[in-house]
Amino acid sequence: MTDATPADHVEGTQRSYDGLPGAFVYAVRTSESWLFKGYVLLALLLTVAIALVFVFGLISILAQTSTVRGGTFTFSRSFFLFVGLLVVAPLLAPVLLVARRHRRSVSSVTYDRGLALSALLFVASLYVGLVVSVPPQLQEPTGSSIVTALYELPQIAGLVPPLVAVGVMYAVHRLLR
């Protein structure tokens, strides 16, 4: 697994991609990193699952607030979609960055692996953030001291792990480009 050659780069630019679905296929086809290819599959599955959760949640919010006009309820609907975008965007970013890099320049396996590892860190941080933000009435007793410690944190602290992971992903992108 070596770096791509300039000849591969010229050939790769002729076989570009169109839009987000094409970027997934292009990134898998051009990357030599098996770790990154595995992440692309995981990102695709998680993006679809998260999108379904947010679509069903939006339908629920619309049903509950359908008789109310404007104001706070309109804002809450928009904010709900915004939060969904904030969750999905970092899942898609590594795929788009690798596809773009392979299309525009000579890319390396190190870059692909680094972004895949930082993206997997983001996935794990989403889980930790969800555990921290579980409301007290929904928390289940557990024998794990780690989960108990996470439950004891304030719910707003659930934002910290994903934000830190996004920062790490950005730093990896900047360092390895």
Residue 153: per-residue pLDDT: 94
Check residue 70 and give its pLDDT. 66
Q: Are 166 and 90 in contact (CB under 8 A)?
A: yes
* The predicted structure's pLDDT at residue 67: 76
pLDDT in tens, 85-127: 999 999 999 999 998 888 887 778 899 999 999 999 999 999 9
Q: Is the dihedral of CA 30, 41, 84, 152 positive or negative?
A: negative
Report pLDDT digits (tens) over 10-46. 444 445 677 788 888 888 888 899 999 999 999 999 9
Give the whole-angstrom CA distance, residue 161 versus residue 172: 16
pTM beyond 0.75, yes or no: yes
Q: What is the DSSP letter of 3?
A: P
